[in-house]
Amino acid sequence: MRFIDKVKNCIDKQYGRPKGLIGTYIGEKMVQQHKPETLWTIELLNVNKNDHILELGCGSGYAMKLILEQKQVDQVVGFDISPTVIRTAKIRNKKALNEGKVKIVQGTVKKLPFEDEVFNKVFSIHSIYFWEDLSDTISEIDRVLSRSGKLILTLSDGKNGETWEGIRDLIEGKVIPLLKGKGFIDVELIKGPNSREYHTVAVIGKKSSYN
C-alpha cells in the first residue's frame, strides 16, 4: 500500500472512531463541516420543552449544545463509540452536564445501555455509515424510543449531482424496510441542504403508538 493510501485509510478510520490528538482534530473538523445539515436536522426535530432526546454518534457535542440553547428540554443524551470525542463533548457541554440536562455515554449502537421507551426523539447525523449491525441497531432504537416517538437519520447520498448507489441501496434496501418492519409509520426520505457540495438527506419515521 502506498504511503498516501495509508494516510487516507488512517483518516477514514478516524472519521468512524476518532482517537488521540488527530481524533480530537477530526471531531472539531466535523463540527465545522456538518453545520448546515446539523442545523437542518435540529429543525426537523421540532424541539419542545418536555423532550427527552438521544443523539447517536454525538461526536464533539455540537448538536447537543445547539438544542439546549434553543429550548429548555428535559434532557439530551449523547452517545458515541469514541472516548476521544466524548471528552470534547463533555467540555463543550460542561455547564449543562453540571446541571443534569446532558448525559454523554460511550458504547456501541447495537447494544444501547438505556431502559425501554425512555426517549421521545432519537436522531443521528452522519453516523449510520459506521453502524456494524444495522438490524440490531434499528431494533435497539425501536426499543428505547417511546410510542409515537420520532426518529431522524441524516446522511449524504451523493455529491455534485451524482447519487451514490451504494448509499441509496442502503437507504431504500435496508434502512427503510427495517423501520417499516419494526412498525414505524410515516417513513420517508426527504432532501435537505447541500453541504460542501454533498447532498444531504434524512430518513424520518414515527414509532407507532401501538408497538
Terminal Cα distance for the chain, rounded: 50
Contact (CB, 8 A) for 96 and 33: no
Residues in the chain: 211
Domain boundaries, the chain: 34-207
- 3-state DSSP assignment of residue 122: strand
Note the pLDDT tens digit of each residue in 101-126.
999 999 999 999 999 999 999 999 99
- Phi and psi at residue 41, to the nearest 5°: -65, -40
> Which pLDDT score, from 0 to 100, does residue 30 have?
63
Q: What pLDDT, on the 0 to 100 scale, is given for residue 107?
A: 94
| CB-CB neighbours of 72 under 10 Å | 11
Phi, psi (rounded to 5 degrees) for 50: -95, 15
Q: What CATH number is given for 34-207 in this structure?
A: 3.40.50.150
Q: How many CA atoms lie within 13 A of 48 on its CB side?
A: 7
Mean pLDDT by 10 residues, the chain (211 residues): 35 43 51 82 94 94 90 89 90 92 94 97 94 94 97 95 94 96 96 92 94 60
Q: Which residues pair with 159 in a beta bridge?
A: 162, 198
| Residue 193 confidence (pLDDT) | 94
Q: Is residue 56 helix, strand or coil?
A: strand
pLDDT at 211: 60
